[in-house]
């Protein structure tokens, strides 16, 4: 067997270093050629680096969160088979997921957890789906999202047989494992919980943290809230959904809100803008490029629907579905994740009553959309049931005065309550 060193390859696009996000192997792990060994995040994307050899891992040069320069030794192997010359070029990394993100609410952590030394209460065992456990020296193949969920639910991945390629454990395998354990008794409520966990802030979570610090420390936010009667809009939405043809997506409220915003920005141009702090220049945009905050199992992304001003409601819904879907499945391109001029954040059915969304720097405003609900309201001296939705907005007070932000929201409210105005 020959000992070989593998260097971080040139990922391209001028990248000179990357942050180690997830190791898929450990010292002593056997690997085959093209097996995933590490995820590395750059300023542009996160890539999965495959193994160039078959053999055994003997050294990992770096921990999660460390920055590694292109060309630096990343992994050392004891390779199997005959020793041959080193490859002239490192294997091509596989793009795993885009990395641009920002946004208000905090996404879930996906980083590797380190258990503290405090004693842990006994957790009920989860019955594995496997018929037999893995050998002690075998490698557990699973994505970071699967590993995180396994930690949260107490599943020992070494006891689960994966149904994916090469035995990779998938979410469906965890579902099956949890289903078989549903009859297990829960821990007594009287048991004290004294455990702690330390989670290093790396990768996407670190990027989001940095962006939030920039936004909240450099932008003087003010927020404005409004209640909107969307009864007529709901009737229109239901009608259009009943008439949609094959290939057209089911309409939610968001495509209507997107179109209404694009019309409102014609009258409130300073609200569709970005502000360069260093140069002191505000750029107002005629194009309406709306970022849609999207929660994924890797964190919060903001894919962009571009040129909403040129779309009808079906086109807006289709493109929104495309970019948010690509963000969730990790196929979004850099173009899909850049160029926004204003951002919408919505939690759908979990939208609550109000929030103070954080502006997507360097934009000057953000709109929070909350769930619509039937409410008793007073109309012409009588109590009637109407469909009510709350809107929350935040604005950069250096650029948008209180009256300006309020005027845009009131304009938006008028169109949503009288949806014919959206299409006039």
Catalytic center residues = 397, 401
Residues 6+ apart with CB under 8 A from 306: 287, 289, 319, 339
- 3-state DSSP call for residue 374? strand
Cis peptide, bond prior to residue 362, ω within 30 of zero: yes
Count Cα neighbours of 164 within 13 Å in the Cβ-side half-sphere.
Answer: 13
**Concatenated DSSP letters of 46-106:** EEEEEPSS-EEEEEE---TT-EEETTSEEEEEEE-SS--PPPSSPPPPEEEEE-----SS-
- As given in the structure block, the two tokens for residue 63 are 């921990």
Q: How far apart are CA 305 and CA 300, in angstroms?
A: 16
Task: Tell me the CB-side half-sphere exposure of residue 19, using CA atoms within 13 A.
Answer: 19
| Dist. CA 202–CA 121, nearest whole Å | 28
- Cβ partners under 8 Å of residue 257, min gap 6: 344, 367, 369, 412, 416
């Amino acid at each position: 067997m020959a000992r070989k060193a593998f260097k971080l390859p040139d990922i391209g696009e001028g990248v000179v270093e990357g942050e180690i996000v997830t190791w898929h192997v450990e010292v002593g792990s056997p690997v085959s050629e093209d097996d995933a060994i590490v995820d590395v995040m750059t300023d542009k994307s996160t890539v999965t680096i495959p193994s160039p050899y078959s053999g055994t891992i003997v050294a990992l040069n770096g921990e999660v969160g460390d920055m590694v320069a292109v060309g630096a030794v990343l992994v050392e192997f004891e390779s199997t088979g005959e020793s041959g010359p080193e490859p002239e070029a490192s294997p091509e990394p596989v793009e795993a997921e885009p990395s641009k993100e920002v946004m208000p609410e905090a996404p879930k952590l996906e980083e590797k957890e380190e258990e503290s030394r405090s004693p842990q209460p006994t957790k009920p065992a989860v019955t594995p789906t496997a018929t037999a456990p893995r050998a002690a020296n075998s490698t557990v193949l699973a994505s970071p999202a699967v590993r995180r969920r396994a930690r949260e639910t107490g599943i020992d991945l070494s006891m689960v047989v994966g149904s994916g390629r090469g035995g990779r454990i998938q979410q469906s395998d965890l579902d099956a494992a949890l289903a078989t354990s549903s009859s297990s008794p829960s821990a007594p409520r009287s048991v004290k919980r004294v455990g702690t966990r330390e989670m290093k802030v790396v990768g996407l979570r670190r990027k989001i943290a940095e962006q939030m610090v920039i936004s909240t420390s450099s932008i003087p936010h003010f927020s404005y809230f409004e209640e909107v009667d969307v009864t007529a809009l709901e009737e229109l939405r239901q009608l259009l959904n009943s008439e949609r043809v094959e290939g057209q997506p089911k309409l939610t409220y968001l495509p209507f809100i997107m179109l209404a915003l694009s019309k409102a920005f014609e009258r409130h141009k300073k609200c569709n803008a970005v502000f360069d702090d260093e140069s002191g220049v505000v750029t107002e945009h005629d194009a309406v490029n709306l970022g849609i905050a999207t929660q994924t199992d890797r964190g919060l992304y903001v894919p962009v629907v571009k040129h909403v001003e040129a779309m009808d409601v079906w086109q807006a819904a289709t493109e929104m579905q495309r970019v948010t879907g690509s963000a969730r499945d990790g196929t979004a391109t850099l173009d899909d994740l850049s160029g926004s001029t204003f951002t919408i954040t919505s939690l759908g059915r979990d939208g609550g009553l109000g929030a103070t969304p954080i502006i997507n720097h360097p934009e000057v405003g953000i709109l929070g959309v909350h769930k619509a609900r039937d409410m008793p309201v007073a109309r012409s001296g009588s109590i009637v049931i109407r469909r009510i939705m709350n809107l929350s907005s935040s604005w950069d007070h250096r650029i948008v005065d209180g009256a300006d932000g309020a005027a845009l929201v009131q304009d938006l409210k008028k169109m949503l309550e009288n949806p014919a105005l959206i299409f006039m």
